[in-house]
Structures are given as structure tokens and as C-alpha cells.
Structure 1
């Protein structure tokens, strides 16, 4: 069972969906570079945008808890 995504992971997925065609056209740009780019974008986002993704993460966490009530993270 996977952990519920945090706010940054949800943001990164959304960002990837919006830029993947342009990103894929440049063969030098890889996922690791995209992750750095997403992190920089995340740091520059307004509090409102970050709050939106925090709220989405809380919703995902609640749904995960309902689906897997006995789930306990263990690395």
C-alpha cells in the first residue's frame, strides 16, 4: 500500500500534466531535472496556491485513511 501523496507530490503531478509535451520535446530534460524545476516552482508559489495543494493533500489523506483504516507506514 502506497502512502497518501503530500501537497508537493500532488502539485508536481499537476505541473507535469501541464508541461509534459513541451518537456518531452527536449531530450536533455529528464525527470530528475523536472523534479528540480518543480521544487523551484513550488518555492515561488503564493500562499494561496500552496494552501490549495495542502487542502487537496488533506483530502487524499482522509480518503486513504477510509480505504485503509489499519494502514501504518513502515519504511
Structure 2
């Protein structure tokens, strides 16, 4: 089962990427990540490290707080 935070984060990455009209491959080139990894992040299949999260923020030229501008409600 995918964790909600990973799915929300992945959707945020996809939203930012598409907003800049980048392909997964182009985002991979900007970040140094393989495009398969970018796709896995976007689908919530990977749990990126803090270092990789910072790489995404730098690639989009936004702060970490901006990168995390999405809401995650606890389902407990």
C-alpha cells in the first residue's frame, strides 16, 4: 500500500514538472536522476531522501517549503 505522503509528494513533483513543460527525461537531466526514478517518485513508489528532495527544489528553483505546499490529512 502506498503511503499518502508519497503519493501527494509525487503529485506535487508532477504538477511542478508539467507547469514548466518538462518531460520526465528533461527533469531527470536537470536533477541528475534517471527518468525512471522521476516517474517512480511521481507515482508515489519511491521514498526520496532529504538530499534528493532538496535536489528537486533546486531544479524547480523553489524553497523546500514551497515544494511541500500540499495538504496531507491523517486518516486515523
| Same fold by TM-score greater than 0.5 | no
Q: What TM-score, normalized to structure 1? A: 0.36
What's the TM-score, normalizing by structure 2?
Answer: 0.35
Normalized per residue, the structure richer in helix is 1
Q: Which has the larger radius of gyration?
A: 1
